[in-house]
Amino acid sequence: MNLTMKFARGLLVGAAAIGTLAGSAQAADQALNIYTTREPGLIKPVLDEFTKETGIKVNTIFINNGLEERVRTEGENSPADIILTVDIGRLAAAKDYGVTQPLKSEVLEKVIPAAYRDPEGHWFGIALRGRVVYASKERVKQDKITYEELADPKWKGKVCIRSGQHLYNVSLIAAAIAHMGEAKAEEWLKGVKANLAKKPSGGDREQAKDILAGVCDIAIGNTYYVSLMRNGKDEEQKKWGEAINVILPTFEGGGTHVNVSGLALAKNAPNKANAVKFMEFMVSDDSQRIHAEANSEYPVKAGIKIHPTIASFGELKADNVSIAEIAKLRKKASELVDKVGFDQ
């Protein structure tokens, strides 16, 4: 090979290498990595819409348990850009584990009420779900109830609930502490325990199943499970969902306890600009509608159409205790569950 041919070949190899690097950079520029505890099918519609609108490819990693530990273990090499999860317990855990970073965004702050986002900008609620009462259509005639009334002896042997240590109930009990104070919340929790029809067990759907079976008359569950039961393909679960009415309970002097589905910017997000773009996209009108419809949740943005099944429960008057305050009280709530032997 003469000198001219060698030089020409060198130019081609160099051009190929530069092309590969440019392609890699372009690919990275058009990527977003989401670590999520949500079932992929539940968020796919909104992810597809984001990609359609921006051209950014979204990669999702579904981690049902231990998401925070995994991101922390990965450290600076973590590919996670966004942490997308449910319940303030998991959002607060991500912050406590040090795997999130604060974000200042006028777009997010304008849409999301202060009660549904971290004061320091580490997490943002994008949808709401109520923790409500499932009531037997056959045996319960009242259509209003307070959380305090769940401890009324008139319900003795008639209440069903999943474990008091489940994150959904820990948050509810934390809200009770915020309203009543720790001492009165303890007495209330003892009263609820005294009214249980059976030992706390199962998930929210199983509480509706037990109402249909006559095990109990009322139960505690999240709003979206009722929609999933009534509108799903499982014929047995449809019967469970149709056997109950949903009552939106309130605290005395407050409203219905709500929790959030939310997201956070990962501490070492390699595609930070894309991550911020996605977070702001999630509060757009179309995104709020698609996400709420797919998950049977309440949009966090005012004026967005609500899933018809959820809307049929009546107007949601959300409680006035901030989600951040509930996060602070979750440890006390968990300790209270053990103190009164709620699950025993």
Q: What is the CATH number of the domain that holds 44?
A: 3.40.190.10
Whether 328 and 230 map to the same domain: the answer is: yes
Q: Is residue 219 part of a domain?
A: yes
Q: Known binder of ligand: residue 224?
A: yes
Cα separation values, 270 from 91, 106, 124, 148, Å: 20, 22, 20, 47
Find the angle CA(278)-CA(95)-CA(119) to the nearest 5 degrees. Answer: 75
Q: Which pair of structure tokens corresponds to residue 172?
A: 């509810």
DSSP helix/strand/coil, 156: coil
**Region label for 20, one of left (φ > 0), alpha (ψ between -120 and 50) or beta (otherwise):** alpha
Q: Is residue 16 part of a domain?
A: no
DSSP-assigned beta bridge partners for residue 62: 36
| β 258-265/82-86 pair status | antiparallel
Q: Known binder of ligand: residue 97?
A: no
User: pLDDT per position in the chain (344 positions), as tens?
Assistant: 443 333 333 333 333 332 332 333 334 568 999 999 998 888 999 999 999 999 999 999 999 899 999 999 999 999 999 999 999 999 999 999 999 999 999 999 999 999 999 999 999 999 999 999 999 999 999 999 999 999 999 999 999 999 999 999 999 999 999 999 999 999 999 999 999 999 999 999 999 999 999 999 999 999 999 999 999 999 999 999 999 999 999 999 999 999 999 999 999 999 999 999 999 999 999 999 999 999 999 999 999 999 999 999 999 999 999 999 999 999 999 999 999 999 99
Taking the C-alpha atoms of residue 92 and residue 35, their distance in angstroms, rounded to an integer, is 15
Whether 168 and 279 map to the same domain: the answer is: no
Domain extent, residue 177, equals: 130-257+316-339
Whether 34 and 74 map to the same domain: the answer is: yes
Nearest to 262 by CA among 119, 105, 127: 127
- Length of the chain equals 344
Whether 158 and 284 map to the same domain: the answer is: no
Could you tell me if 227 and 285 are in contact, meaning their C-beta atoms sit under 8 angstroms apart?
A: no
- The total number of structural domains in the chain stands at 2
Taking the C-alpha atoms of residue 111 and residue 168, their distance in angstroms, rounded to an integer, is 25
| Residue 264 DSSP class | E
Whether 40 and 91 map to the same domain: the answer is: yes
Q: Is residue 140 part of a domain?
A: yes
The residue to which tokens 């009462």 are assigned: 133
Whether 226 and 328 map to the same domain: the answer is: yes
The residue to which tokens 């092309």 are assigned: 19
Taking the C-alpha atoms of residue 258 and residue 168, their distance in angstroms, rounded to an integer, is 10
Whether 109 and 138 map to the same domain: the answer is: no
Global pTM value: 0.89
* E strands present in the chain: 31-36, 57-62, 82-86, 124-136, 159-160, 218-222, 244-247, 258-265, 298-299
Q: Is residue 21 part of a domain?
A: no
Whether 119 and 36 map to the same domain: the answer is: yes
Whether 60 and 108 map to the same domain: the answer is: yes
Q: Is residue 17 part of a domain?
A: no
